[in-house]
Structure 1
Amino acid sequence: MLERDGQKEQTVHHPIPPPGSATGYTAPNVFRRPRPQQAPPAATPRTSEGGVADSGPDATRILSDLLSRPTHTGVLESALAHAATLLGGDVRGYAVVRRGQDCVTAVLGYPRALVGTALSGPWASMRARVLTDGAHELYELNPPEIHTLLNTCGMRDVKLSLVVPLSDRGRNLGALVLDRTGPGGIDPGAQEAVNRWAAAVAPLLGVLDSREDWKQTARQITGAVAEAVESRDFDALGHAAAVAEASVKLGRAVGLAERELEELWYAATLHDIGKIHGESGHALVGSNFLHGIPHLSEAQKAIRHHHERWDGQGEPGRLEGEDIPLYARIVAVANAYVRLGDFERLRTQAGKGLDARLVGLMEKVMLEAPTQ
């Protein structure tokens, strides 16, 4: 515990395993949020007397599946699974997202090697289509080097494809492509059900796009503010960006998840933001900039405590060892690395001002980093 403005602030211990651990370091459970379960596999399609697959699981369960993994890949994997249920029979598929370049973002029944591949395809017109010549158009629109991957994925075996666009308020976001390799066509009623399903999924993708745009904007604003503070001292220009880059590399080596790395990036980028009011007490001043932002609470503590020392002789709380928040220890090591630029000098601080195990890990990470 430490006193702050008459109140007690809880500090959390974040142990790091001893060197030489075969499994490496796993971030402490205190940072972990329960991971959502993977969406269950699509149920065996049920068909009505007319042969049209019914809607299967109820809408509440489907929505829960979609929102349990709020990323483009998570949403689209669930969308493909339910669309396949609606069609019935032997169905494989993939989802394409349009972001300047059409890119496969999720697959169902196809190898995951397909994910991340830039493709041109029969979805370009952004209208629903049934292709009776299988993947012929897909092969025709892509260069020979892509054909090898398509062959490996079994695209030559496709007999029939249903292309369903994903559009939201006039924005062409991508498409679902559902392939049959066996006999049989596509019932018009089932096709209409998939079209309706795609229309329901598309707004979720629009929301995710907006969130990603905002995250990027927030990062740009944060970087610009840090540079504005650094511009008061020419020698400091670029320091925040360098510390952020080193911190994220170290955080990834420590085992932090992407959400945690995002918060660590903010802590490192803004660690000296308090210098806008001068050098004295800048850590406390800087931490106040993030007051009242719940999802950056760990970043706030990191900024506040990044001048603590492992030996307990730092400020403002004279915290010692693992009483210092993990993010603060990471930023302190990255900050020292950027300022000193020399591992021999950095090692002299190990066990004194800095967490010795993080110093060792920082050296390993930077020495193993590929040269540009």
Structure 2
Amino acid sequence: MFRRPRTPPPTAPVTEARKPTPTPAGGDLDATRVLSELLARPSLEGILEGALAHASTLAGGDMRGYAILRRGQDKVAGVSGYPKALIGTALSGPWTSMKPRLLADGTRELYEANPAELHSTLDTCGMKDVRLTLVVPLSDRGRALGALVLDRTSAEGISPTVQEAANRWGAAVAPLIGVLEGREEWKAAARQITASVVEAVESQEFDALGHGQAVADLSLKLGRAAGLVGRDLDELWFAATMHDLGKIHGETGHAQVGANFLHGVPHMTEAQKAIRHHHERWDGQGEPDRLAGEDIPLYARILAVANTYVRLGDLERVKAQAGKSLDPRLVATLEKLPQ
């Protein structure tokens, strides 16, 4: 529906975790093949889902699982077979010792370790029916990252050989999880720093305080509705948050000045274009390059609609600009968003 001109759009991440080709329980790990499959989804959630799926295969299949990451508080960060709604839930459980464990009494310890108000969540996920739990710790260079927790509702056991294979798999995938977790932490830090810098600039003009955040929030809603995902949304967030940063040198030409802040940042090329061109107009009468229609980069068109709505605060006034200064299809998308 929405075309980004000149450069082909990045391939969207696969929606479902990719299951590796089954490996005989207790057999040798083909780590190169499996890890390459996991890298097809280079995000923490994607890696953890793939790791859980393969660990289940090693254990003979017919298992559900969830991955715990330790970030001050232990939280579910990935699932396989369990509802995605479980992700983000803070839990205590049998992984705290960071040792391999096989629990013949299933989730009894999990229920005992968590407050009663969480039990209904666990029940909804079907955890009360679990008869056997396998805990595979995840550690990298002495750092306790978390654990893969695999549950089985049948009475079928797990042999020591299979347990060892699952633990070897946990040791193989843990360094990759450690790297990605570090990237997530740096990404969060980068966002916090960016937002703080923008807020400092906005604070010079009382009416502008919070404008960048408001435009970023609405831009992400429009971006998702237009089909953007993952890294695309990350770039759009930076573009929207920083779009007025050039005003630190005055109003005139601020879009070009702001774009220069991202000069030399290879993974922010689309964000840089969005900042530079967010004052172009659909009818070609904008600045700085008088681009028109879909020659205006998609992020810039999204940013222009979000910026206009936040500035005017009136949907009818924004609709009046459809086909003039704003992309009419994105304005129509804005109309459909919950107000």
Q: TM-score, normalised by structure 2?
A: 0.88
Are 1:131 and 2:103 an aligned pair? yes
Are 1:87 and 2:59 an aligned pair? yes
SS at match of 2:8: helix
SS at match of 1:96: strand
Q: 2:24 maps to which residue?
A: 46
For the aligned residue pairs, the C-alpha RMSD in angstroms reads: 2.7
Equivalent position amino acid for 1:30 in 2: P
Residue 278 to residue 67, structure 1, CA distance change in 2 (3 Å): same
| Deviation of the 1:45 alpha carbon | 4.9
Query: Which string of whole-angstrom CA distances, capped at 9 and with x for unpartnered residues, describes residues 66-101 of structure 1?
Result: 211122222122222332333336544332222343
Query: Which string of whole-angstrom CA distances, capped at 9 and with x for unpartnered residues, describes residues 3-31 of structure 1?
Result: xxxxxxxxxxxx65xxxxxxxxx988932
- Name the CA distance, whole Å, in 2 between partners of 1:240 and 1:348: 23
Q: 1:193 maps to which residue?
A: 165
| Deviation of the 1:214 alpha carbon | 0.8
Matched-pair identity in %: 66
Unaligned runs of 5+ in 2: none
Kept in 1: contact 2:20–2:34 (CA 8 A)? no
Residue 220 to residue 311, structure 1, CA distance change in 2 (3 Å): same
Give the aligned length. 338
| Deviation of the 1:215 alpha carbon | 0.7
- Name the CA distance, whole Å, in 2 between partners of 1:112 and 1:78: 14
SS at match of 1:279: coil
Kept in 2: contact 1:306–1:329 (CA 8 A)? yes
Kept in 2: contact 1:39–1:65 (CA 8 A)? no
Q: Greater Rg, structure 1 or structure 2?
A: 1
| Deviation of the 1:262 alpha carbon | 1.2
Query: Which string of whole-angstrom CA distances, capped at 9 and with x for unpartnered residues, describes residues 111-153 of structure 1?
Result: 5454444332111222222222222212222344444444454
Query: Which string of whole-angstrom CA distances, capped at 9 and with x for unpartnered residues, describes residues 253-308 of structure 1?
Result: 22211321211111111212222222222222222221222211111111111111
Kept in 1: contact 2:20–2:37 (CA 8 A)? no
Residue 54 to residue 242, structure 1, CA distance change in 2 (3 Å): same
Q: 1:233 maps to which residue?
A: 205
Kept in 2: contact 1:55–1:86 (CA 8 A)? no
Equivalent residue in structure 2 for 1:175, among 136, 147, 163: 147
| Deviation of the 1:332 alpha carbon | 1.4
- Name the CA distance, whole Å, in 2 between partners of 1:344 and 1:41: 48
Unaligned runs of 5+ in 1: 1-14, 17-25, 48-52
- Name the CA distance, whole Å, in 2 between partners of 1:233 and 1:147: 50
Equivalent position amino acid for 1:141 in 2: A
Equivalent position amino acid for 2:177 in 1: L
SS at match of 2:146: strand
1:160-309 equivalences under 5 Å are 160-309=132-281
Q: 2:322 maps to which residue?
A: 350
- Name the CA distance, whole Å, in 1 between partners of 2:326 and 2:141: 52
- Name the CA distance, whole Å, in 2 between partners of 1:202 and 1:66: 12
